[in-house]
Amino acid sequence: MKIKFSFLGLLIAALILCSGFRAEAALGTDWHSNTITVTGTGIAPYGSHGAQARIMARRAAQADAYRQLLETVKGVQIDATTTVEMAMTTSDIVNLHVEGVIQGARIISENFTTDGAYEVTMQLPIFGGHGGLAGAVLERPTRVEPFPEVSTTVTVTIRGGYTGLIVDCRGFKVQPVMSPVIKNANGQKIYGHKNLDYDKVIEYGMASYADDMSQATRAGSNPLVIKAVDVEDFNANPVVSMEDANRILSENKSSHFLEDTAVVFLY
């Protein structure tokens, strides 16, 4: 197996070698706020003092944070079957883009701890345009595909005025992913990233994930609430009944909440 030494990997290694570190961190991928946050911890090499010790400890903490960001990012699901690590392994371009995004991670806090170590907390957006993780791993479709037509076998009453869609997946242990799909009971995709404007997807994401209705603000003040009947594809993709699929597609023709990615999954 060929071993690749990336710029980010060499940077982290260099910081660690020159500074020393200890790994104490709180990792976290938050699918409600769509952020990845890690805390790196570092200590100065033995014998260093004053300003030099502070600089060395800070470098060590940054190196630890970069290392943790890389490991956490690798485990993020792009879709039901693909992780970021898989995409990085199969594409040098994706690998470079992911490394660039990680280097741009924002420091949100830093301080000395009571035992003399230094902590640096970094945050990386999953979305947010080309500065987010999605922009590094989601491929731009060659064209925007239309939403499927409403099935003629099931009739629904259109009410109009919906500001978004909430799919209640509670009880199914849905797996958050960057690029989810909503299917109808016949297995047809009724919502996927190829139906949407690519720049909007990488800026805002396709959906947010919430624990309850109070967190489902993305769907607006008058959301259409649909109960999932199942989840498929390693629990990543919700399935709705044929009637509810028809209702979603019919209401979207007048309200366009799918195009606006005003979608929330309760999980």
For the cut 70, the answer to whether the pLDDT of residue 22 exceeds it is no
Indicate whether 98 belongs to any domain. yes
What is the domain range of residue 232?
Answer: 164-266
184 and 72 together in one domain: no
Average pLDDT of the residues in 214-223: 96
pTM of the model: 0.83
91 and 12 together in one domain: yes
Indicate whether 40 belongs to any domain. yes
Question: So what's the pLDDT on residue 51?
Answer: 76
Both tokens of 163, joined, read 């500001």
Question: So what's the pLDDT on residue 25?
Answer: 34
Q: Which of 137, 155, 180 is a domain's end point?
A: 137
- 13-17, 100-104, 236-240: lowest mean pLDDT where? 13-17
25 and 118 together in one domain: yes
Q: What CA–CA distance (Å, rounded) separates 251 from 26? A: 42
Q: Are 118 and 60 in contact (CB under 8 A)?
A: yes
Average pLDDT of the residues in 175-199: 96
Q: Are 98 and 136 in contact (CB under 8 A)?
A: yes
Indicate whether 127 belongs to any domain. yes
233 and 114 together in one domain: no
Question: So what's the pLDDT on residue 56?
Answer: 87
Q: Which of 82, 102, 137 is a domain's end point?
A: 137
Indicate whether 68 belongs to any domain. yes
Half-sphere exposure of 202 (CA within 13 A, CB side): 15
How many domains does the chain fold into? 2
26 and 82 together in one domain: yes
128 and 25 together in one domain: yes
For the cut 80, the answer to whether the pLDDT of residue 26 exceeds it is no
Indicate whether 157 belongs to any domain. no
Indicate whether 220 belongs to any domain. yes
Which DSSP string corresponds to 49-62? -HHHHHHHHHHHHH
Share of the chain above pLDDT 90, in %: 75
48 and 125 together in one domain: yes
Q: What CA–CA distance (Å, rounded) separates 175 from 180? A: 9
Q: How confident is the model at residue 3 (pLDDT cuts 50, 70, 90)?
A: very low
**Closest residue by Cα to residue 102 from 142, 72, 138, 78:** 72
104 and 209 together in one domain: no
52 and 126 together in one domain: yes
Q: How far, CA to CA in Å, does 127 sit from each of 32, 40, 135, 150, 178?
A: 12, 22, 7, 31, 9
Q: What CA–CA distance (Å, rounded) separates 252 from 254? A: 5
**What stretch of H or E contains 200?**
helix 198-204
Average pLDDT of the residues in 254-267: 96
Q: How confident is the model at residue 234 (pLDDT cuts 50, 70, 90)?
A: very high
Q: Which of 137, 156, 181 is a domain's end point?
A: 137
Laid out side by side, the sheet with 230-232 consists of 189-191, 182-184, 237-240, 230-232
- Hey, what amino acid is at 80? A
88 and 207 together in one domain: no
Average pLDDT of the residues in 145-168: 88
**Closest residue by Cα to residue 264 from 238, 234, 242:** 238
Q: Which residue has the higher pLDDT, 266 or 49?
A: 266
106 and 192 together in one domain: no
15 and 126 together in one domain: yes
